[in-house]
Copies of this chain bind each other. A is one copy, B any other.
Amino acid sequence: MDGIRNFVIKEKDVPIIQSNEVLVKLKSVGICGSDVHYYKEGRIANFIVKGPLILGHEAAGEIVEVGKNVENLKVGDRVALEPGIPDRTCFYCKTGRYNLCPNIKFWATPPIDGVFTEYVAHPADFCFKIPSSVSYEEGSMFEPLSVGLWAVEKAGLRPEFKVGVLGSGTIGIMTLQSILSFGVIHVTAFDVFQPKLDIAKKLGAENTVSTKDSDSFRKYYDSFDVVFETAGNPLTTLETVNLVKPGGTIVLVGLTSTDRNSLNTNLLITKEVTLKGSFRYANMYPRAVELVSAGKIKLKELISRHFTLEQLKEAFEFTINNSDKVIKTMVNIE
């Protein structure tokens, strides 16, 4: 990407790997909502694109070379790639919350290049083997799945809980399936677009609620033990405090276009709500491998269309022009 809505193809040397790294030939890379924001607007929240930047951070590929200290991987292994490499030495890393590492190098977050490219050198411990029953396309979707799993990790779910998920886009669907993977029986999915609700229903939501009508939330007030906000919308963010039961938990995942949003803090206090921000993830790829391998979480159903790396601009434009029904656009690299 070189300027807004402009892609340029460049030749780059194949990277040289360090002793703890592997060289990965990329196979499938999904387009994330943040990629689309950078492409369209050059920014998302406080992350701003200032020079040429390779987008793409949802990736899977094949190992073609291993560093000399790498023991658990070998050439030919098929791997899903975790895209953020923390410094491993700061307070956050050493206490197990490396997603908050201030020095993390996260693909396609300016100025770190992403992986709409052919090869990448990557630390072995951020590569996760996938079995042959899991495709590269599915492996690339472990990244948004990890966002959902992390949000759920924070929620302390129990099987009998009533759970609400606001938003049924990629992250909403990933969150929905993560909730179900913890054995939760009653999940209600909310969205403004019916095609997305249909997918939510198909993938296990007990109820779906169309939020076109602004009154649609009211009948669910005080209904949910846990509410997940994935829509990144000021209105749905505001409704979370109404929807949750006294003593319940809200997890905010979706960033909104404006920083400041209204919340009924009095109600949050008298209902004694716990509200948690959830940002990226830590240590969720092993869980993703297990759940997808066991068939407990379905990823193929989320792919709306497949493109090649040469069709990258086309893939982005398709995603933008079909935002009412596209869940995931996939780019395959040959």
Contact = CB atoms under 8 A, between A and B. Distances in A.
Interface string A80-103: 000000001111111111111010
Given A95-B96, A283-B95, A294-B185, A266 B274 contact: no
Contact of A267 (B237, B259, B263, B283): B259
Given A182-B182, A266-B256, A267-B259, A159 B277 contact: no
Contacts of A181: 159, 183
A159 B291 contact: yes
A91 B90 CA distance: 17
Contacts of A260: 238, 262-265
A99 B271 CA distance: 10
A69 to B, nearest CB: 10
Interface stretch (A112-120, A196-204, A208-216, A245-253): A245-253
B259 A264 contact: yes
Interface string A288-304: 01110010100000000
A16 interface: no
A274 B274 contact: yes
A218 interface: no
B183 A182 contact: yes
Interface residues of A, number: 67
Given A275-B274, A279-B272, A287-B158, A185 B261 contact: no
A187 interface: no
A182 B159 contact: yes
Contacts of A159: 181-182, 287, 290-291, 296
A134 interface: no
A237 B265 contact: yes
B160 A89 contact: no
A263 to B, nearest CB: 5
A272 B100 contact: yes
A51 interface: no
The interface centre, meaning the residue of A89, A180, A238 with most chain B CB atoms within 10 A of its CB, is: A89
A96 B265 CA distance: 23
A217 to B, nearest CB: 15
A18 interface: no
Contact of A185 (B98, B273, B282, B290): B290
Nearest to A295: B185
A232 B148 CA distance: 34
B160 A290 contact: yes
Nearest to A250: B275
A285 to B, nearest CB: 10
Contacts of A268: 252, 275, 277
A269 B278 contact: yes
Interface of A: 20, 45-46, 88-100, 102, 123-125, 158-160, 180-183, 185, 237-238, 246-247, 252-256, 259-279, 282-283, 286-287, 289-291, 294, 296
The list of the 8 closest CB pairs from A to B, nearest first, reads A96-B96, A269-B277, A160-B290, A89-B125, A183-B183, A268-B277, A95-B96, A88-B88
